[in-house]
Amino acid sequence: MPRDNAEWIFERRRELGNRIRDLRLHANHTQESFAELTGIDRRTLQRIERGESDPRYGHLLRISAALDIPVSDLVQ
């Protein structure tokens, strides 16, 4: 397995971050209010939304619960 990430991984990470941001905005949450709702640090949410960080599975569970959607809808 290669040590460095392939470009497609970075692209998928950006897509996931964009989807989370769009859903958060559609639900009328600021990053700060969403951080409080999910219990995830605001800086961590920022990195996830920018596609700079791979979210933990637990973060995906918290995000999907706050948005009232299945995890599978986030990562489609």
Give domain status of residue 62, yes or no: yes
Q: Are the C-beta atoms of 75 and 16 separated by less than 8 Å?
A: yes
Q: How far is Cα 45 from Cα 40, in angstroms, rounded to an integer? A: 7
Does 1 have pLDDT greater than 60?
no
Q: What is the CATH number of the domain that holds 71?
A: 1.10.260.40
pLDDT band of 2, cuts 50, 70, 90:
low
Does 32 have pLDDT greater than 50?
yes
Give domain status of residue 17, yes or no: yes
Q: Give how many domains the chain has, as a whole number.
A: 1
pLDDT band of 76, cuts 50, 70, 90:
confident
Give domain status of residue 15, yes or no: yes
Domain with 69 in it: 7-75
Q: Are the C-beta atoms of 47 and 55 separated by less than 8 Å?
A: no
What is the structure's pLDDT at 4? 64
Higher-pLDDT residue of 4 and 7 is 7
